[in-house]
Amino acid sequence: MSSVAEVLAARKPRKKSVRLVLDGQSHAELELARNELKNLRLRERVDGKDETLASQIPGLERKIQELEADLITNAPLFTFQAIGRRKLDEIRSEHPPTEEQWDLYRERSKVNPMVNAPSFDPQGLAPKLLAASALDPPMSIEEASELWDSLSDGESAQLYEAAWSVNMEAASVPLSASDIAAIGSSGGNSITQRVAESLGLPSQDGS
């Protein structure tokens, strides 16, 4: 049986990568081509065997494939690595919920008493989490802040999701039939959830 020291020495933190499409013009051109192809196929079904319409489809399909390949080739790849629970807790504690977030929680809780109270400020935490978790390319807090402020809401959400989930998700091995039977006989619906709750750990949605 391995010792704890051996287990920790062999541990490899989880990694997660996300490719960020930053070429808005090429992306818009791709969406236009996709819509055009969709309309052509619809018209072809409505008009029956129209050789003129049918002849346009292969060329448009090739154009879409080329645009997709170019977007993937030119889109920067960001890779994040789990930083450990203690470091993540430090970052969370440095960014408590804002008064505006508490106000929003109080308003929502009037409608839904089961809504989770905020435990940190995601907007304030994001640059530091990105910087701490960034593996490739590495980034300082200043660089992460500049990146965070420059990106659109959708683009920044992609980065945040990757950095957050790599620290919150656990790698798992598919259970065998005997494992599933053993868990079922214990009378618990979600052992992982119960253990996390007993430790006071946050859920994956940050609650």
Q: Which tens digit of pLDDT belongs to each residue from 71-122?
A: 888 889 999 999 999 999 999 999 999 999 999 999 999 999 899 999 999 9
**Sequence-ordered list of residues with C-beta below 8 angstroms from that of 203, at least 6 positions apart, any chain:** 196
Region 39-46 average pLDDT: 80
For residue 170, the tally of other CB atoms under 10 A from its CB is 9
Q: Domain boundary at 75, 95, 118, which?
A: 75
**Residue 109 and residue 55 in one domain:** no
Query: How far is it, in rounded angstroms, from Cα 166 to Cα 139?
Result: 17
**Residue 40 and residue 4 in one domain:** no
Full-prediction pTM beyond 0.85?
Answer: no
Task: Give the domain range for residue 67.
Answer: 21-75
Percentage with pLDDT > 90 across the chain:
45
Domain count, the chain: 3
Higher-confidence residue of 104 and 199: namely: 104
**Residue 195 and residue 157 in one domain:** no
**Residue 10 and residue 67 in one domain:** no
- Residue 170's pLDDT is 65
Query: How far is it, in rounded angstroms, from Cα 61 to Cα 59?
Result: 5
DSSP annotation of 92: H
- Residues paired with 136 in a beta bridge: 79
